[in-house]
Structures are given as structure tokens and as C-alpha cells.
Chains A and B, each alone.
Chain A
Amino acid sequence: MKKVFTVVIAVLMCASVVFAQAAAEENPTISVWVSGAGSQVEVLKAACEDFTAETGIKVEFSAPGDTYEEMMKTKMASNDLPDVFDTHGWAVVRYSDYLMPVNDMAFYKNISSQIIPTVSKDGKTYVLPFDMDLTGIVYNVDVMNEAGVDVDKIKTWADFEAACEKIKAIGKTPVTLGGSSGVTVGWYYDRVAPSFYYTDETNSKAADLKSGKFDPKPWEEISAMLDRWVSKGYLNADCVTGDFMGDITAISTAKAGFDFIQNVAITMGRANVNPDGNMGMMPIPSKSASDEPSLISGEGVALGIWKDTKHKAAAEKLLNYLAQPEVAAKVCTATGNVPALTNVKVDLGVLQQYIDKYSDVEAFNYFDRAYCPSGMWDVMCATGQDVLAQKSGAVAESAKQMKSTFDALWGN
């Protein structure tokens, strides 16, 4: 009797394992991780919930906010990535080894040719890009009018500094840059570095950077420019302790002239701070008069599938669902960026006129994403914070640190 009972229990246990496995495969749960916070996360979360309602496939949605990058690094080190995750600008350099190519998926044909090179390597595209981060320098139109600055006449950094002088003269902050988290300082370098390294074709260092040679001299000039702005009082008084939201508040309430935040400063400023905020976007000045102003373009919100996922079919189903025009359009509206899928149409509101106006301006990918090995971003931000705080020798040190980290990561 005891034996029979044991056998029955054993059979039941085996059966439950088998059935549980089968049920798991029929209705898998996939993990989806996205970076950022606010409306773009809410839109994606709602879309995942709709997906679950429609398909029965459960989605474990996670948006860790500020700690996203740190957590993804730990997950990469442990080789335990989410089934679907946001590459936050790093689809190729950082994550391509962990992602599954999407070239065979239904939405691939709709990916704009402008973004394909940014999210592809060796002919393989790794993500579903929702939007393109096409941006320059955000400014407050009212401040420019009051100071008598015509942004279309700002061609070089010297012109930009002259404009700052005019804004300072009317008692406003020329540039708002809250560097407490370091991110905004990184954005300054990302915008300025192309004009010092490669936008001028006659003096381009792009090939050197691609082959692992970093010239620290231009970097020192970029840091020296930031240091000069602090000395001349072009930056906000709390530039060391201020934050990203402080910049958005200042630019949307006409307390500052320029900021170095993406277009989201316009959409978020109008949505959260001042609905009447009169802001625009202009190209980034060049270093020399012989060069032309440029724009920054890059990957915006983009989701890829982990190559070792156990739920490939479900993950692919989710990406195809999210790539539908009506779903993708909501993401673009939330970020205020140009759609990266050709079948998606979005009204970008006040921003649209600037996108149209500068459609012929050449755009370059973010400096660190295009030319630096993964791992340079933190150095850019941290050394830039020292420059902002005007620590002794910080200008030379920033270039030295960049060079040594660049060489170390290249294995030079």
C-alpha cells in the first residue's frame, strides 16, 4: 500500500511538472525592461497591457528609472537579460552581442533608412526603433527676442558666446546647465565634440577615432570653453548643484536662453512647467567659420530581443505588436521625436517647424556612441563635472582622463 502511494505521488509530481511546462510554453511570461520614466514609460506599459489582453501572453514590465544602466550592466555580467529591453542609444556598441537581429521581422521594412546605420552592424539590425533623436540646442524664443539675438546667425561657437553676452546683458542666464547628476554635462560634450573632431571634413579626426587614436587637444579646448563660460557667468549660478528639471524649468519660463537637453525639454517643459513656454531648437554651432552648423541624431527609444531568450516567439510577437503605427505613434508623441518607422505619422506640435526648417542640416550621431568604446560616458560626465566646479587643473585633467580611458578600453 505504501509503495503504491509513493508511486502515485511520484507520477502526479512528474505530470504536474510536465503540464506546468506545457502551460508555460502556451502562455509564457516575458520580461520587458525600459529605461526612462514619465509618459514614454507609461505609454509602453499601457501597450504591453493591451498586448497581454489581446494575446494572453503575460508581460513582466519593469522601468527601473535612474538605475537602469547600472542594473543592465549587472545583468549582462550575469548573462541574465530581460527577454525584451530598451537599448537607450547603445543598440550596437554595448548591446549588439546580446541581441537577436530583427532583419526577418515584419516591421523591418518600415524602419527609416536614416536610422538603419545607427542601429545596425555588419548588415544586421538589432532593434525596433520607435523614434529618432534629432536634436540641436534648445532655446527660449522670448529670451532671444528680448536680447536681440537671431539664432539663425549663430554659426560658430564665437557667435554663440557673443549671443550669451547679449543675454547676460538683459539679466537672464545665457545657458542653463544643471550638472549635479553629470548627465547634462555629458550632453554638453556630446553636442560640442563633433564640431571639434569631425564635422569639418577638411580637418576630420573621425578615421583616427575609429582606429583607436584619441587626440586629447580638441577635448581640452572643449573643456576650456565650458570653463570660460563658467568664469564669464554664462551658466546658471547653481550649475554644480542644479539638475535636469531645473534646466527645463528655467528654459520654459524664460529665465535662461539656451540649454543642452534633447527636444524633450520642449515637450516636457510645455507639458509640466509652462504650457505657454515659447521654445525652439537650433543647429549646433561649428568651431570654425569654414564649417557648417550641424545636428545630433541618434537612436531614441528602441527595443531589442535578448538572443538567449527562452520565449523568442512571444518576444517577436510583442515587437510586431508595438511596431503597429498607432502604438509607435504614441511613443513618438511622448518623446517629442521624429518617428523611426516610415509608416508612422506624428504631429510634433511646435517642434515640427524646426524639424522641417533644418531638414537639410547634416546630422551626426552622439560623439560617445559613435566614436568611443563603451564605458567612456561616465568619464565624460565626471571629468566635466570637475570642469564645471572649476577644480584646479580640471580642464587639462579632463582631456588626460579621456585619453587614458579611451586607450585603456581600446587596449592600446
Chain B
Amino acid sequence: MQQRVKYYQTGTFTVGNRLLDEEKRTVQATKERNNSLTCGHRACQGCGEALGARFAIDAAMNAVNNKLIAVNATGCLEVFSTPYPESSWRIPWIHSLFGNAPAVATGVAAALRARGETKTRVIAQGGDGGTVDIGFGCLSGMFERNDDVLYICYDNEAYMNTGVQRSSRTPPGARTATTPPVGEHPGNSYNQGKNPALIAMAHNIPYVATASVADLHDLEDKVEKAMSISGARYVHIHVPCPLGWGAKPSNTIRLARLAIETGLFPLFEAEDGEIVDTTPIRKQQPVDEYLKLQRRFAHILKDPLALETIQAMADRNISRFNLVREMEVTNNG
């Protein structure tokens, strides 16, 4: 979290701020925001993904003058937003299969190009299962061809819609329906994990970023920047899931914030395969502050070795992305 202005009560830490010029507030603070994902959807109480999707798509709509088509992979977001015969999308939106959203988006972009509609842009979006597991082949292809699509992954760290099964984004130690802590088994295994943002960077695509629902200014800036670039782009947004994580619905933002402040979810940006910026931690926290609010980690809270291992992961991120450093004020009002 960056302090972008000095001394304006809450600065840019809140969604809006009456003391700031309007252009320094977020899109979400405006009365005119698009509400691309509108009410009546069936996401659970306190859904981080519903929030993340509205944040990102509203920012993208704002950046491209409302000329946008979204392609959606199967997953929570698709299911809760479009139970037949209702839709909560206020944008052109298409769903096809679980694993092919990047390929469908490639097709939409090609069709627009063929029709000469150069102003309309394409976003593909999905959860971590549809993106990092099932759709990963199509996604890699989309990157490799440098198709003019922004792919947004909403990462809630498991297959939540089908009943909380493990995905390759599920963190070590977490309990899911398929990784129950039984006997010696600690929940999800302590593996190396899979970091799709770093893999996307390995394709040398023009823009890759990670973002969080707990840092709205940063998220909107990244989406806006992504929409200003042509070619394949990837934004990975951390979206807590109260149901799957065993957390209070009111803790969604707090958890996303703690994931940043512990170092477990580093925020960074990369252009053409190189990291260009990382977001420093504002008030560093130990990992157990994050873990203890989630029942999926209840069984490891008294296991010092598990806590040490997870803290070591956080520490590695902190040193790798230089997350603990003097906060720079980027703009003084």
C-alpha cells in the first residue's frame, strides 16, 4: 500500500476522500461508476470475488470509454452472476466452457479486428481453478501469440463453487474438501505452489500485475494501465472467500489486507518480462495474524513448524520483492 498523498486524513487508503481532487479518488468512489456487476447476484455474503470483479471491470470500462466485451470461464463468478434466466452483468459478456476462456477471448478479439472495430477491447476472466489449472494451456497459448486480451484471474485459492476442492493456488496447510487434515497429513501439502503471474512474465508479455481487493487505488491503476497497452496482459487479483476459507464475511477486506501485510501475497508489476515495481508493506504483520482468522488453517495454528514454514514463505516474498522499505509518498496532494 502506497501513501500517495500526505496528510489528508485517510489519504488514498479509503475508497474516496472528500478532501482530495476528484481525479485522485477511485472509480468506485464515483456516483457514475458503471456497476458492471450489479446487485441481485447470488455470491455469498462478503464475497471477495464479486467485489474484485466489479472493481476490475468498472475500472476497465472507465479506461476504454465503456467499449468492452468480457469472456468468462466457468466458476463461482460465472455461476453466481448468471443463474438462468438472470444476469447481473451490465456489459457484453459471454460464457463458454471451464478451460477455454482465453481461447474464446482470442476469438472475440480476432472477430473485432476482422470487423474493424478497433475501439472495442476484450477481457477474459476466471477463477484460479479455471485459470491456473484447467485453462492454463489456452492461457499460455494466448500469451505466446500475444493476443490483444487482458486476462484477469480472481484468485480465491480453491474450487469454491463446487464445494471447496484444492487447486494449484491452494496454500500449504490449508484444509479443503480434498485435503482434509487427517492424522499425519497436514491439509494441503507444503509444495512449491504455482505462481501464474511469474509464469506469465516468462512469456515476456507486455504487462503482468498482481492486485488485491484490499488496495483499490493500486488495483484500479493496474487495470487502467493494462487497458492502455495492446497485446496479451495478465492481472492476478487476490479475492478472499469467506465460505471456503472459513472466515467471517465481514473479514474479507481485512484478510486481503493481511495477506499483503504479511508478505504472503506480494503486489508487483512487470513489463515485458521484467518486474518494474512492487508495493511496499505499510504495517508488517506476522503470518499467524492472517492465518488465525481462517478456519481452514485452524489445525496448524498450534504447529510451530507449520507456522515457521509459512512465515518463511512470507519472508522469502518480502526479500524477493523488496516489500519492506521506506514508504515513498508518490504525490503530495
- A and B interact physically: no
